[in-house]
Amino acid sequence: MQNYSSIKESLQLLEKQVNEQLKEVQTLEILKELYQNTLGKKGKITEILKHLKDLSPEEKKEIGMLANELKDILSQSFKEKQKELEQKQIQEKLSKEFFDILRPLRKRVGRIHPLSQIQYEVEDIFINMGFQIMDGPEVELDEYNFGKLNFTDDHPARDMQDTFWTEEGFLLRTHTSSVQVRAMEILKPPFKIIVPGRVFRYEETDASHENTFYQLEGMMVDKNVSTAHLIYIMKTFLSTFFEKDVTVRLRPGYFPFVEPGFELDIQCLICAGKGCQVCKYSGWVELLPCGLIHPNVLKAGNIDPEKWTGFAFGMGLSRLVMMRHSIEDIRHFLSGNIRFLEQF
Ligand code: FA5
C-alpha cells in the first residue's frame, strides 16, 4: 500500500528517469517505445496513479494535479526530442543525396537554335574579314527605318515593306538597314560592320514568308569603295559559307538607299547552273539585295559623300538557313516544334 508522499516521490523520480532516458534516445522508434511506456495507457504514470484509491480526496486532488503537470512537461519534452530526431533524419538523408550542381552533365540538355547556329557561323566569316558586329533597336523611329534611308514621306517604296506601327507612332523595324545611319552616327569612317537581327513585316505568311524573320545587314564605308569590292566580299563570304567556289551575278534592283542597287544571284549549287527544281530551271538562285550607299544616306549619317563611298547588302538569314538545311517552310523556325528543332 502506498501513501501520499511515496506516490509523489514516484512521480518525481519518474520525471527524472524519463529526462535522463530521453537524452540517450537516438531513433524515433525508441522514442515512440519510451513514450508508450511512460505516457501510454499502460504506461508508468497510469501504473503509479492506480494507487490513488488508497488516498484521501484532498490527497487525490493534489496528486491528480501533480500528475497532470508531469504529463504536460513530459509531453513537451517528447515533442522536442521528436523534432530533434526528425531534423537529424532529414540531415542524414540530405547528406546522402548531395550532388554537385556545377558538375557538367554527361548528356547535353537543349541545343542552339538553327538560326543562331548559322548566325554565329556567318558572323565568324565576316569577323575574319575585319567586320565588326553592331546591334540596333527592334522598336524603331520612322526616320531610321525609312526617312534617313532616302524614303520620302510619300515614297511608294515604303509600301514595299508593310509595317507594324505602335500606337505612339514607333514602328517595328522592317529591315536591318535601320542600323545603317545609326552606325554612321557612332562610327568614324573607314568602317566595316554587320548587323544580324530580327525584323518584322505586316504580311501574310507562307512557306517562304514570315512576319518575323532574321536578316543580316552588311556595310562598308571607305575611300573609293566600288561594286568590285562588294562582289569580292560577297564571293568570299559565299564560297566560305557553302565550302565551294560560288559564281555570282548582279541584276539591277531598286532600293531608295542604294545607287546603283542590285539583286545578287548565285549560280545554283545543286545543279551547278544546269537547271533544276530548286532554281526553277534558271540555273540561278536569288540570294540578297545590295548596292552602293546612296549619297543622301551618307549625308544623313554626317559622312561627306565627296570623300567617302560605301556598299551595303541585306541578307535574308532565315532563307540562308533554309538553303543550308533544305528546310521547306520558314514557319518551322518560330513554331517551337521540338521535333523540328531536335534535328539540328
Ligand atoms: C531589304 O530588306 C533591304 N533592306 C535589303 C538591302 C540592304 C538592300 C542593303 C540594299 C542594301 P528585301 O525586302 O528584299 O530588302 O529583304 C531582304 C531579304 O530578306 C530578302 O532577300 C529575303 O531573303 C528576306 N525577306 C524579305 N521578306 C521576307 C519575309 N517576309 N520572310 C522571310 N524573309 C524575307
User: DSSP letters along 80-109, please?
Assistant: HHHHHHHHHHHHHHHHHH---TTSPPSS--
How many A from CA of 315 to the centre of ligand 1? 7
Which of 41, 67, 96 marks a domain boundary?
Answer: 96
- Identify whether residues 186 and 90 lie together within a single domain: no
To test the ligand 1 pocket, which listed residue (178, 262, 288) has its Cβ within 8 A of the most ligand atoms? 288
- The verdict on the CB of residue 333 being under 6 Å from ligand 1 is no
Same domain assignment for residues 60 and 160: no
Q: What is the DSSP letter of 209?
A: B
Q: Which atom of ligand 1 is nearest to the CA of 316?
A: 23
Q: How far is the CA of 342 from the centre of ligand 1 (A)?
A: 28
CA of 341 to the centre of ligand 1 (A): 24
Residues in the chain: 344
Dump the DSSP string for 254-304.
--TTEEEEEEEEEE-TTTTTS--TTTTTSSEEEEEEEEEEPHHHHHHTT--
Q: What is the DSSP letter of 221?
A: E
Is residue 309 in contact with ligand 1, taking CB distance under 6 Å? Answer: no
Same domain, 85 and 121: no
Is the beta carbon of 145 within 6 A of some atom in ligand 1? no
Flag whether 104 is in a domain: no
**Both 275 and 180 in a single domain?**
yes
Mutate to test the pocket of ligand 1, among 175, 206, 216, 318 (most ligand atoms within 8 A of CB): 175
The predicted pLDDT at position 1 comes to 61
Q: Which three cell numbers stand for residue 17?
A: 528517469
Q: Whose CA is closest to atom 6 on ligand 1?
A: 314
* Phi, psi for 67 (deg, rounded to 5): -65, -40
pLDDT of residue 270: 77
CB atoms within 10 A of CB 210: 21
To test the pocket of ligand 1, the residue of 205, 255, 290 to mutate (highest count of ligand atoms within 8 Å of its CB) is 255
Domain endpoint, select from 44, 69, 96: 96
Whole-prediction pTM? 0.70
d(CA 275, CA 264): 18
Same domain? 56 vs 139 = no
Residue of the CA atom closest to atom 2 of ligand 1: 175
- Averages of pLDDT over runs of 10 residues in the chain (344 residues) are 85 94 94 95 91 87 92 95 94 83 77 93 97 97 96 78 90 97 96 97 89 96 96 94 90 95 89 83 90 98 98 92 85 90 88
201 plus 161 within the same structural domain: yes
In sequence order, the β-bridge partners of residue 264 are 250, 288
Ligand 1 binding pocket includes 195 (Cβ within 6 Å): no
Taking CA atoms only, the protein residue closest to ligand 1 atom 12 is 289
150 and 297 in a single domain? The answer is yes
| Atom of ligand 1 minimally distant from the CA of 261 | 10
**Which residues have a Cβ under 8 Å from the Cβ of 141 and sit 6 or more positions away?**
170, 171
Asked if residue 314 belongs to a domain, the reply is yes
Centroid of ligand 1 to alpha carbon of 259 (angstroms): 17
Is 126 part of any domain? Answer: yes
In this structure, the strands spanning 191-200 and 212-222 are antiparallel
Å from CA of 204 to ligand 1 middle: 15
312 lines ligand 1 (CB under 6 A): yes
Whether 277 is in a domain gets the answer yes
Residue 179 in domain:
yes
Closest CA to ligand 1's atom 25: 316
The answer to whether the CB of 151 is under 6 A from ligand 1 is no
Tell me the three cell numbers of residue 290.
Answer: 545590295
Is 106 domain-assigned? no
Ligand 1 binding pocket includes 321 (Cβ within 6 Å): no
236 with 92, same domain: the answer is no
Q: Are residues 336 and 241 in the same domain?
A: yes
Residue with the smallest CA separation from ligand 1 atom 30 is: 209
Distance CA 161, CA 183 (A): 22
Q: What is the pLDDT of residue 309?
A: 98
CB 201 less than 6 A from any atom of ligand 1: yes
Show which of 96, 130, 146 is a domain's final residue: 96
Paired strand residues for 262 = 252, 290
Any domain includes 292: yes
CATH number at residue 316: 3.30.930.10
Tell me what pLDDT residue 94 has: 86
Q: Identify whether residues 297 and 217 lie together within a single domain.
A: yes
Ligand 1 mean position, distance from CA 289 (Å): 7
Domain span at residue 65 reads 4-96
Ligand 1 centroid – CA 224 distance (Å) = 26
- Is 217 domain-assigned? yes
47 and 129 housed in the same domain: no
Q: How many domains does the chain have?
A: 2
Is residue 157 domain-shared with residue 297, that is, in the same domain? yes
